[in-house]
Chains A and B, each alone.
Chain A
Amino acid sequence: MKRVRGMQRRDVLKAATAGVLGLAGCATNGRGTPESARVLVVGGGYAGATAAKYLRLFSGHRLDVVLIEPDAAFMSCPLSNLVLGGNRTMADITVPYTGLVQAHGVRVVRDSVAHVDVVRRVAELASSARIHYDKLVLAPGVEMIWDGVAGLREASAAGRIVQAWKAGPETVLLRRQLEAMPDGGTFAIAIPEAPYRCPPAPYERACLVANYFKTAKPRSKVLVLDANEDVTSKGPLFKKAWAEAYPGIVEYRPQYKATGVDAVAGIVMFEVQDDERADVLNVLPPMRAGALAVQTGLANANARWCGVDFLTFESTAARHIHVLGDSIQIAPAMPKSGHMANSQAKVAAAAIVAELSGWEVNPAPMLTNTCYSFLDDRRAVHVASVHEYVSAERTFKTVPGSGGLSGAASELEGRYAWNWARTIWADVLS
């Protein structure tokens, strides 16, 4: 596989030095998708990797699709709280990119994009190679707004207070901190004001850490310090779990907005309330669109999120750039979730193929979302929704009467959650 990847990389570099491949590629004869058009996808998460695969599928494997991703493999944020809880390992939630290459002909380049020239339509890679694109798909995820919590940038860089809000090395580090914590200690998670990546994830994390403590460190506590007025997703289901499965372990406090940390003393400071001390701190600052989207001038909503035309997910700040996933300014009731990112990617891929082929873009795209949260190592709950494009308002809205929550947590839903994961990973990557 290494050899293949190396060949692809040289291929991309060759194309880059040739300079103009794809420049004349947009011309269409009206009979199909042009073979010479290149779509560059930046970011190999749920949004970007899905876009890369479906651009190839929807174009009958005609479009030249290049995916730029610095990580060697896909690591899933959904289910990563089970790694923190000690129930699964990183290997269980890691999937290689080889399926995109071998089954779909996506050219995967292990690199990152340093700069985008939106006028010339050229992306400059960290390795200094330059790649021209006809269409650019940016799916850079979220970036932490470190200045939102004083001292947190340094504490995170030093590995003292990590976020583990992107599955990977920090997930493993936070797990080690929980393992090293003495019985009788406190784990505190501080949640920023919405919107942030994956609304129910902090509450699921509280459950799974509590589940670990319950058997391994029964005198320990989980303190949930939430900047929001109430639990932002699946509230009644999480509260029921805390009351019934984790009494005396989980303590939930709303309207606690973290403003600073002292990593050495293990202290979080708040806008209103007194400081809180904990043995393991997981302080999540406010979030915004991924750094590349911000640098490229696409974060035109409150200087935090990227406005998009929801029919195509094209940026409202720059032509020929489509922004997907957690970086976008969301439509009403649209969660920043992996399933939603996958749904958005398919709408964008179809719109890009239609546009490059000279076809009318689908005027009525649909999105689905199903998001499972584990309450312990076996039982899960879900929230589901269906979203339709409402042309009069140029946005997505949930279809009236659709969607909903679990009635109660169950082991059946826990099995469905793993089934969802295996199947969506294949839909994204295989």
Chain B
Amino acid sequence: MRPLRRAWLCALAGLAPFGAAQAQDAPALRLRSLVATCAQCHGTDGRPAPDSIVPALAGLPEATLIERMSAFKDGTLSATVMTQLARGFSEAQIRQLATAFAAQAR
């Protein structure tokens, strides 16, 4: 059973495009957890469903992400939902999220 399972997992690794994003230590896991709070609407790791009218976040420049989230937070950018959600995240969290999404492949 053991060798079989390993072979099967290796086969899977070839299919999985996100191996590099695995949490390798506690801080990385925490960051992935924070990133996952955006995934319901923006997709796992910031890649939404095809033809999404909500933007992909993966691969956006860090400065753009910080600027938009801050603008939602202070209300200078209007939205149906994002103004309300952005106010739930601290500036430090917004910076962490921006760094993480900027590092994701599109």
Q: Interface on A for B, CB 8 Å cutoff?
A: 11, 14-15, 18, 21, 32, 54, 57-61, 64, 102-105, 339, 342-343, 346-347, 350, 353-354, 357, 359-360, 362, 365-368, 370, 382, 384-388, 398-399, 401-404, 406, 410, 412-413, 415-416, 419-420, 422-427, 430
Q: Are A426 and B44 in contact (CB under 8 A)?
A: yes
Cα(A117)–Cα(B34), bound, Å: 34
Question: Do B23 and A58 touch across chains, with their CB atoms under 8 A apart?
Answer: yes
Q: Are B29 and A58 in contact (CB under 8 A)?
A: yes
Q: Are the C-beta atoms of B22 and A366 separated by less than 8 Å?
A: no
Pair A58/B32 contact, Cβ less than 8 Å: yes
Contact sample, A vs B, 23 pairs, CB 8 Å cutoff: A11-B1, A57-B21, A58-B29, A61-B16, A104-B16, A105-B8, A105-B12, A342-B40, A346-B39, A354-B26, A357-B26, A366-B34, A370-B41, A384-B81, A384-B84, A386-B87, A386-B89, A399-B88, A402-B88, A419-B49, A423-B52, A424-B40, A426-B43
Which residues of chain B come closer than 8 Å to A11, judged between CB atoms?
1, 4-5
Q: How far is the CA of A422 from the CA of B53 in the complex (A)?
A: 11
Smallest CB separation, A79 vs chain B (Å): 14
Residues of chain B having any CB pair with chain A under 8 Å: 1, 4-5, 8-9, 12-13, 15-16, 18-19, 21-26, 29-30, 32-34, 36-44, 48-49, 52-54, 80-81, 84-85, 87-89, 93
B87 near A427 with CB under 8 A, answer no
Complex Cα–Cα for A370 and B26 (A): 28
Inter-subunit contact A57/B41 (CB<8 Å): no
Tell whether, in the assembled complex, residue A60 and residue B22 are in contact, meaning their CB atoms are under 8 Å apart: yes
Count of A-B contacts with CB under 8 A?
Answer: 152
Are the C-beta atoms of A350 and B54 separated by less than 8 Å? no
Find out whether the CB atom of B81 lies under 8 angstroms from the CB atom of A419: no
Q: A57-B22, A346-B37, A420-B41 are in contact. Are A404 and B54 (CB under 8 A)?
A: no
Give Cα distance in the complex from A291 to B29, angstroms. 33
A422 to B26, CA, bound (A): 31
